[in-house]
Amino acid sequence: MQSKTTESLFQTFRDHLDSHHDTRERLIKASRDITNISKKTIFALHRIALEEQDRQVQHPGRNAAIKAYESLSEVKAIYEKLQPELEGDSFWRYERQVSPGLQEYIEALSFAHYLNHGSLITYDQVQETLLDSNGTPYFPLTIADYLLGLSDLTGELMRYAISSITKKGGRERAMSICAFVRRCRSDFERMTPYIRELSKKQAVTTQSLEKIEDAAYTIVLRSSEYELPPDILDDIVAQVIATHSSGRIDLTMD
C-alpha cells in the first residue's frame, strides 16, 4: 500500500462524507422550519376558528382553513427546493430527518381539512399537496408519516372541542368531534403493530378522547338537570368554563 493512494482514497471518502453530512444538516434545518410553519398554522387555525364561532358565521372554521392552506403553501415551497436532495433513494436515506417536519405538516393540513370538510383527509389528498408542477411527488409519502400526522390531529381536535364547547353550538360540535376522534382511534388500532411510534400516540389519542368524553358527559348531565333551552345553557356553560382554569371540565355550579 502506498501512502499516496491511501491519501487520495480517503480524500474521496472525505468528500463523500462531507456532502452526506451537509445534506443531512440541510434537511434537519428544513424539517425544523416546516415544523415551525405548521405549528404556527395550527395556532392560527384554533384562533381564527374560535373567532368565527364568536361572530357566529355559518361555517366556522372554513375561513381559518383557507388561511391555513395559504400559509402551508410555504411548506410546499420548501419541499420544492429540497426535491433534488430527496430524489430516488435519497428520501429513504434521510427519512428520519424529513419525518418530524412532515408529520407536523400533515397534522396542520388535516386539521384545516377537518375544519373545512368535517372529514379525515385521505392519503391521496395529502400526497396531492406534495406534487411538483409535473405532478411528480417530491418524495413518496409513507403510510407511517400519514398515520402519525393524523394521530396528532386528535390532540388538536380535543383542544378545539373543549375550547369551543362554550360557544354557540359548541356542545354539538364537541359531540361530533368526540365521535370523529373515536372513529380515528379505532381505525388506527389495527395498524398499530406495523408502525412503531403509533402505539404511543394511540395512548395519547385515548387520553384526548377521554377528555372530550368527560366534557360531553358533564354537559349532558347538567342539561338534563336544568331542562333549559340550549341558548341559555350555552351561556351557563360559558360562564362556568370561564372561571375554570384546569384542562378538566367540571361543571360544579353550586
Partner 1 sequence: MDPQLLENLNGLLDKEVDLREKIREQVNELDKKARTMVGLLNKIHSTSPEAIPALLDTVRPHLSGVQSVTLSLSEIIPQNQFWRWKDMWTNSLRTVVFCAALVEYLSTRALLSLPDAAKIIGVREEWSDRIALPVEDYLHALISLVNELSRLAINSVTLGNFEEPLKISQFVKELFAGFSMLNLKNDLLRRRYDSLKYDIKKIEEGQS
Measured from the CB of residue 115, what is the shortest distance to partner 1 in angstroms?
Answer: 18
Alpha carbon distance 41, 47 (integer Å): 10
* Separation of CA 86 from chain center: 23
196 binds partner 1 (CB under 8 A): no
Rank residues 198 and 237 by Cβ distance to partner 1 and give the closer one. 198
147 binds partner 1 (CB under 8 A): yes
Tell me the CA distances in angstroms from 145 to 148, 205, 223, one per residue in order: 5, 16, 41
Measured from the CB of residue 14, what is the shortest distance to partner 1 in angstroms?
Answer: 5
Alpha carbon distance 233, 219 (integer Å): 9
**Positive or negative, the Cα torsion across 76, 127, 44, 144?**
negative
Rank residues 11 and 73 by Cβ distance to partner 1 and give the closer one. 11
Cell (9 digits) for 105:
405538516
17 binds partner 1 (CB under 8 A): yes
18 binds partner 1 (CB under 8 A): yes
Are 28 and 99 in contact by the 8 Å Cβ rule? The answer is: no
Query: Can you give the binding site for partner 1, defined by CB under 8 A?
Result: 1, 3, 6-7, 9-11, 13-14, 16-18, 21, 88-90, 92-93, 95, 120, 122-123, 143, 146-147, 183-184, 187, 190-191, 194-195
